[in-house]
């Protein structure tokens, strides 16, 4: 049962048991709002631990895969119930370990519950299809079969929602999973494992291994018992995983970085556009893959837009995310703080104009937390690094555009293609953008953020590869499609000579 005890290191969950790493080593995580505060100690796993988890999953996968999908669904509904009971605890775990405001953490837990509910219901669908055969007295249909063992490798920025939106479809499709959370956010992952244990997941179907990706990542990708890898994180690591997995023809679903733009046309409703861009750029401290990191504003409305943008950004409060009064919380780690500060420096050196913010917040009231002001750059050269690279912090770059074509050109000028948005009242302009934006998700009169669990989530270009997550596409990734032909005619007959 629950293995939580703040004095004891948390353990891996393998084959239904809470176990220590064979390394005998543990590591700690800290609260980014108060780095002196330790959140917990966790197993520093090594390849042997990952192998044990894969072996447990491989042992459990056949029976789990044969269980009728509605029964698997019933178990996910049970997990949903436990999630509901422990939701407040999970949200708090997110905030104290990753840093984000408690309201964002609560929203994240709700999103995880939505995908659990959606996936549990899929236990009574998981449709294949039937179609007429070209032969008489022959049935032809498709059905789904589980892949077997899948590795789930996740980042720190959504330590609950991203793992659950991978594991819920993986489990309902009948796969056994090995889950490796980001090293900096294993606490929420541990609670998720406890939830599935309490829900009665059979031993070995759900396995958790904590520790550095550099140590156990290759095993989770290379082991021949692993049939697919679902990864979210940096484009660099995702590219490496994709290349490694290709050597053994494994399926890969990789959700990577973003450099998302929101376009504001002259006819836009600024009462919608400005708060949408403030929320998109600075919500969750800008550490969302769908964060708005670029605003592209048509020249005629630029002055008014900037006045309102700065006024609304000024009103944001920065502080510990556990205090619901704060809008912007710390960055998730010292490394993130250093990276964001470096980008702010680079922006200034590259000739962009710092229109707001730009400083780390370091007084005694900030208790050494990793805070930076919400920051806005204007006059940004299009080929500069802050215009092109993912910063992953509360930094917004603003560009001016001459008409829709120019706005689309600027929007599409980056290597990423995750999400985008346009604010306009003109349906022609809106559709011009929907049809030409090089992103996997397009929003009209709404922020670049988020998505709904029954619709596909994912990006183009350097933002992702493989089948989309969520929606029907998510179930497609986690299952094989088998085609069955059944000849029920009496006696022998002429066979096709093709194939």
CB nearer ligand NDP, residue 284 or residue 378:
284
User: Would you tell me how many other CB atoms lie within 10 Å of the CB of residue 125?
Assistant: 12
- What are the residues binding ligand NDP (CB under 6 A)? 153-157, 180, 182-183, 212-214, 217, 232-234, 237, 240-241, 255-258, 289, 390, 392
Classify 285 in phi/psi space as left (phi over 0), alpha (psi -120 to 50) or beta.
Answer: left
CB nearer ligand NDP, residue 9 or residue 65:
9
Least CB distance to ligand NDP at residue 12 (A): 14
Contact 400, 302 (CB under 8 A): yes
Contacts of 102 (CB under 8 A, 6+ apart): 91, 92, 95, 321, 322, 323, 324
Annotated catalytic residue: which of 108, 173, 289, 469?
289
Decide if 255 is catalytic. Answer: yes
Least CB distance to ligand NDP at residue 232 (A): 5
Collapsed DSSP state (helix, strand, coil) of residue 224: coil
CB nearer ligand NDP, residue 24 or residue 214:
214
State how far Cα 250 lies from the chain centre.
21
Contacts of 439 (CB under 8 A, 6+ apart): 260, 417, 418, 419, 420, 459, 460, 463
CB nearer ligand NDP, residue 31 or residue 332:
332
Q: What share of the chain is helix, strand, coil (3-state, %, to 5)?
A: 40, 25, 35
Residue with tokens 């964060």: 291
Least CB distance to ligand NDP at residue 215 (A): 8
Least CB distance to ligand NDP at residue 256 (A): 5
Least CB distance to ligand NDP at residue 245 (A): 10
Contact 436, 278 (CB under 8 A): no
Least CB distance to ligand NDP at residue 459 (A): 8
Distance CA 1, CA 9 (A): 15
Contacts of 154 (CB under 8 A, 6+ apart): 162, 163, 166, 179, 180, 181, 182, 189, 231, 232, 233
CB nearer ligand NDP, residue 213 or residue 394:
213
Least CB distance to ligand NDP at residue 386 (A): 13
User: Would you tell me how many other CB atoms lie within 10 Å of the CB of residue 309?
Assistant: 26
Q: Is 485 exposed, middle or buried (0-12, 13-18, 19+ CB in 10 A)?
A: exposed
Least CB distance to ligand NDP at residue 200 (A): 27
CB nearer ligand NDP, residue 153 or residue 301:
153
Distance CA 69, CA 354 (A): 55
Find, among 158, 141, 148, the residue nearest to 469 by Cα. Answer: 158
Contact 248, 416 (CB under 8 A): no
Decide if 469 is catalytic. Answer: no
State how far Cα 377 lies from the chain centre.
27
Annotated catalytic residue: which of 51, 97, 255, 469?
255
CB nearer ligand NDP, residue 120 or residue 170:
170
CB nearer ligand NDP, residue 265 or residue 291:
291
Which residues carry out catalysis?
255, 289
């Amino acid at each position: 049962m629950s293995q939580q005890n703040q004095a004891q290191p948390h353990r891996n969950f393998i084959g239904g048991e809470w176990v220590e790493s064979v390394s005998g080593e543990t590591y700690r995580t800290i609260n980014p709002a108060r780095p002196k505060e330790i959140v917990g100690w966790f197993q520093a796993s090594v390849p042997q631990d990952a192998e044990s988890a894969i072996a447990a999953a491989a042992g459990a996968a056949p029976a789990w895969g044969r269980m009728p999908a509605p029964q698997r669904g019933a178990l996910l509904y049970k997990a949903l119930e436990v999630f509901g009971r422990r939701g407040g605890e999970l949200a708090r775990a997110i905030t104290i370990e990753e840093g984000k405001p408690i309201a964002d953490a609560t929203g994240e837990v709700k999103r995880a519950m939505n995908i659990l509910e959606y996936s549990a219901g899929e236990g009574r669908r998981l449709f294949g299809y039937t179609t007429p055969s070209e032969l008489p007295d022959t049935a032809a249909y498709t059905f789904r079969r589980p892949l077997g063992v899948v590795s789930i490798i996740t980042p720190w920025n959504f330590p609950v929602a991203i793992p659950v939106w991978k594991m819920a479809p993986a489990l309902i499709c009948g796969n056994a999973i090995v889950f490796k959370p980001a090293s900096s956010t294993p606490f929420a992952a541990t609670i998720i494992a406890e939830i599935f244990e309490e829900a009665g997941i059979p031993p070995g179907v759900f396995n958790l291994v904590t520790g550095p990706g550099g140590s156990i990542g290759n095993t989770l990708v290379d082991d021949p018992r692993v049939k697919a890898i679902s990864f979210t994180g940096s484009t660099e690591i995702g590219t490496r995983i994709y290349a490694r997995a290709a050597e053994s023809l494994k399926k890969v679903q990789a959700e990577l970085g973003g450099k998302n733009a929101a376009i504001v046309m002259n006819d836009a409703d600024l009462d919608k556009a400005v708060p949408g861009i403030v929320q998109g750029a600075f919500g969750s401290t800008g550490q969302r893959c769908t964060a708005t990191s670029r605003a592209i504003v048509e020249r005629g409305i630029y002055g008014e837009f900037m006045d309102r943008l700065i006024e609304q950004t000024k009103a944001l409060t920065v502080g510990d995310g556990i205090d619901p009064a704060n809008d912007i919380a710390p960055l998730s780690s010292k490394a993130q703080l250093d990276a964001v500060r470096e980008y702010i420096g680079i922006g200034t050196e590259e000739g962009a104009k710092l229109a707001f913010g730009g400083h780390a917040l370091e007084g005694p009231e900030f208790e050494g937390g990793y805070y930076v002001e919400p920051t806005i750059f204007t006059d940004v050269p299009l080929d500069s690094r802050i215009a092109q690279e993912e910063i992953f912090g509360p930094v917004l770059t603003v560009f001016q555009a001459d008409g829709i074509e120019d706005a689309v050109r600027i929007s599409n000028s980056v290597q990423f293609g995750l999400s985008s948005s346009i604010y306009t009242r003109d349906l022609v302009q809106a559709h011009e953008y929907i049809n030409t934006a090089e992103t996997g998700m397009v929003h009209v009169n709404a922020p670049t953020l988020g998505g709904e669990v029954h619709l596909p989530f994912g990006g183009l270009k350097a933002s992702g590869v493989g089948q989309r997550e969520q929606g029907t596409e998510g179930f497609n990734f986690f299952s094989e499609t088998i085609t069955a032909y059944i000849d029920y005619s009496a006696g022998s007959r002429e066979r096709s000579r093709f194939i």
